[in-house]
Structure 1
Amino acid sequence: MTDIIEKPIQRHSETSNNSFATRHNDISALGVVDFADCNQCSRYPNRWSSIRENISAPAAEFMGAFILCLLGCGGNCQANLSANKNVSANPAGDVVTSNLSWAIGLSLGVWLSANYSGGHLNPAVTIAFATVRGFPWKKVPIYLLAQLLGALCGAGVVYATYFHAIDIVEGGSNIRTIAGSGNLFGTYAADYLTSVSAFFTEFVGSAMLITGIFMFTDKKNGPAPPGVVPVGIFFTVLGISSALGMNTGAALNPARDLGPRILTAMVGYGGAVFNFRNQYWLWCPILGPIFGMVVAAFFYDVMLYRGSESITNKPTEEAERHHLHSCAHRNKLHGAAEIV
C-alpha cells in the first residue's frame, strides 16, 4: 500500500482496534486477505463500486472501441496525409503501418475490455454471440450503443489531431471530400468493384474474424493461454486486412465504419458519406459483417463446437433426464464412499 492509504488507516486504528478499516485493510498488521479478495465481505465496499458494477460492461466496450478507432483511423491519417509533400517531406507510413494500426488497436481494445464485457467491440460480434452462443439479447442494444459512441469519439480525437494536415491535403479548411480525406475514417469500395463483390468481401473477411475469435476461445480446441487471445486476434486482423483489405478497406465492424462516418458528416463532409453508392454504408460495412459473422458462427458451432452455451448443443429432454440421473447416482456413490 502507498503512504497515502496507510496513514489514514493508522490514525483510524488508534481510535478503534475493532474498526472496519482495521479488520479489512490493515493487511500488514493483521495478515488478512485484501478486501477485494475476501469472500466473507460485500463486493461493494462503497457506493461507487455498486454503480460501477452496472456500467463497467458498456464502459469497457466504449473504451475498447475508442482505442480501436483512435489507433486505426490515426494510422490511416498518418500514412496517407504524410504522403503529401506539402504535409511532410518524407512519408510516415504506408498500407502496412495502417494494417498494423488496426490490428494493434483491436488487440489492445480487447485486452482492456475482455474481463469486463467480453471484449466484443463490434456489433456483428455481439449479434453473433447473441444468436449462437446465448449472449443475452437484452444487453445487445447498450453494447451496440457503447461500441458506436466509442468509435465515433475515437475518430473525433483523430480528426482533432490531424485537421490541419487535412486542410492542406484538401486545399482549404472549408473543403472536405471523400476521396481527399473522408476515406481515412469511413470505408468505401474501390471504383472497379461491383456492389455484390463489395458485400462478398466484407462477408468473407468478417466470417474469418469471428472464426478466429471462436478458434482462440474454444476450450476443446487447444485454447490460447490466458491473456494471449488478443495476440491471436491481432494476427487474425492483420492477416485479413493484408489479404482482403484492398477492395473495401476491410471494415469488418459496423461500429468501426459507422462511428467515423457519422463524425465525418458532422465536421463538413456532409451527406455524401451516406449517399455514396446508394447507401453503401448500410448494406456493405454494416450488413456484410453481421451476416458474415452470424453464418460463420453457426457453421463453426454446428461442425466443431461442443460447449454447452451454443444453441447447437442444447440437450434434449431425454439427455437432460439421463444427465440428472447420472449425477444423482454418482453423488450417491460418493456419499457412500465417504461413510465407509
Structure 2
Amino acid sequence: MSRKNKRSLKEKFSLKNSLVKEALSEFLGTFILIALGCGCVGQAVLSRGAHGGPMTVSVGFAMAVTIAVYVSGGVSDAFMEYSDGKLEVTGPNATAQIFATYPAPYLSLVNGFADQVMSTAFLLLAIFAIFDTKNNSVPKGLEPIAVGLLIIVLTCSLGMNSGCAMNPARDLGPRLFTAIAGWGMEVFTAGNNWWWVPIVAPLLGGVLGAMIYVIFIEIHHSDPQSGEENDVHAKYELTNMA
C-alpha cells in the first residue's frame, strides 16, 4: 500500500510537459552557475586577493559550469566592510563586477564586441567538437568536465579584457539584480554603455563558431551507417553553457 502511495505521489508531482521540464532544468542550472561562479569572483574581490585571484576565478567559474551541466543534463555584510557602506560600479572599491562583466579601462566598445564574438565562437566551436560522435568525442558522461576545462582555457587566454561572459544569461540577470539591489542604473551606463555587448556579441559568436565547425569539420564526415542516425543530434542537447 505504501509503495502504491509513493508511486501516486510521484505521478502527482512529476511534470509531463517537456517544455516546462526543460525550463525548470535550465532555471536550476543557471542558478547554480551564477551562484557558484559569482561566488568565486566575490570571494576574490571582497578579500582583496587574500582568498582568491584570477586563477581561482577561472577554475571556480569553470567548475560552476561543469556542476550546472551535470545538475541540469546572497549579499552579505562583506560588501559594506569592503566599500565603506557604498555599492559602487566603478573605482577602486567597485563591487558590481562581482555579478556582471565590465570592460577594462583601455577597451573600446568595438574591440570589446569583437572580443566577445571571438571568445564565444571558440566556445561553441569546441563544444561542437566535444559532442561530435563522428570526431574524437569525449566519452559519454565526461562531457561536462571537458566543457569545464574549455572554460578554464578561454578565461585564462581571453578573460583579461572583459571577463569572457560568453553567455547572455551569465551577464544580464546578475546585472539586473545589481541595478535593483543598490548599485543603481550606472550598471547600464558604465564602460560607455557596455551592458548590451555581453548580450548581443555572444549570440553572434555562437552562430559563427557553430558555422565554422560545420563548414570545416562536420559536413566532411562520412555518411552515418544504419542505426547511427540517432546519435547525430546528441551533441545539440546542451544546457547551461557559460
**TM exceeds 0.5?**
yes
Structure 1 length as normaliser, TM-score? 0.60
1-side partners of 2:58 and 2:157: how far apart? 10
Seen in structure 2, the aligned counterparts of structure 1 residues 239 and 275 have a Cα distance that, compared at 3 Å, is same
Q: Which runs of 5+ in 1 are unaligned?
A: 1-6, 10-20, 26-34, 36-43, 85-90, 115-156, 309-340
Tell me the number of residue pairs that the alignment of Structure 1 and Structure 2 aligns.
219
Q: Output aligned runs, 1:255-294, within 5 Å.
A: 255-282=169-196, 284-294=197-207
Q: CA deviation at 1:307?
A: 9.8
Whether 1:196 and 2:110 are equivalent positions in the alignment is yes
Query: Which of the residues 210, 219, 223 maps onto 1:297?
Result: 210
Q: Output aligned runs, 1:218-229, within 5 Å.
A: 218-229=132-143
Seen in structure 2, the aligned counterparts of structure 1 residues 271 and 216 have a Cα distance that, compared at 3 Å, is same
- Alignment deviations for residues 27-76 of structure 1 (CA, whole Å, 9 cap, x no partner): xxxxxxxx9xxxxxxxx972322446452211111111111111110000
Give the partner amino acid of 1:252.
M
Seen in structure 2, the aligned counterparts of structure 1 residues 106 and 50 have a Cα distance that, compared at 3 Å, is closer
Cα pair 1:220 1:306 within 8 Å, conserved: no
Give the partner amino acid of 2:208.
V
Cα pair 1:210 1:293 within 8 Å, conserved: yes
Cα pair 1:202 1:288 within 8 Å, conserved: yes
Structure 2 length as normaliser, TM-score? 0.83
Whether 1:207 and 2:207 are equivalent positions in the alignment is no
- Alignment deviations for residues 153-180 of structure 1 (CA, whole Å, 9 cap, x no partner): xxxx3xx2xx3111111111xx211131
- Alignment deviations for residues 122-179 of structure 1 (CA, whole Å, 9 cap, x no partner): xxxxxxxxxxxxxxxxxxxxxxxxxxxxxxxxxxx3xx2xx3111111111xx21113
2-side partners of 1:307 and 1:58: how far apart? 34
2-side partners of 1:212 and 1:102: how far apart? 18
Report what 2:34 is aligned to: 69
2-side partners of 1:303 and 1:57: how far apart? 31
Query: Which of the residues 83, 98, 107 maps onto 2:48?
Result: 83
- Alignment deviations for residues 165-221 of structure 1 (CA, whole Å, 9 cap, x no partner): 11111111xx21113101111101000112111111111111111112101100100
Bigger drift between 272-281 and 250-259 goes to 272-281
Report what 2:89 is aligned to: 178
Seen in structure 2, the aligned counterparts of structure 1 residues 101 and 263 have a Cα distance that, compared at 3 Å, is same
> Aligned-residue CA RMSD in angstroms?
2.6
Report what 1:31 is aligned to: none
Report what 2:226 is aligned to: none
The structure with the greater share of residues assigned to helix is 1
Q: Output aligned runs, 1:103-114, within 5 Å.
A: 103-114=62-73
Report what 1:102 is aligned to: 61
Cα pair 2:167 2:202 within 8 Å, conserved: yes
2-side partners of 1:54 and 1:293: how far apart? 23
2-side partners of 1:54 and 1:202: how far apart? 30
Whether 1:165 and 2:78 are equivalent positions in the alignment is yes
Cα pair 2:65 2:148 within 8 Å, conserved: yes
Give the partner amino acid of 2:203.
I
Quick one: percent identity of the two aligned structures? 32
2-side partners of 1:76 and 1:191: how far apart? 19
Give the partner amino acid of 2:84.
G
Seen in structure 2, the aligned counterparts of structure 1 residues 307 and 8 have a Cα distance that, compared at 3 Å, is farther
Q: Which runs of 5+ in 2 are unaligned?
A: 222-242
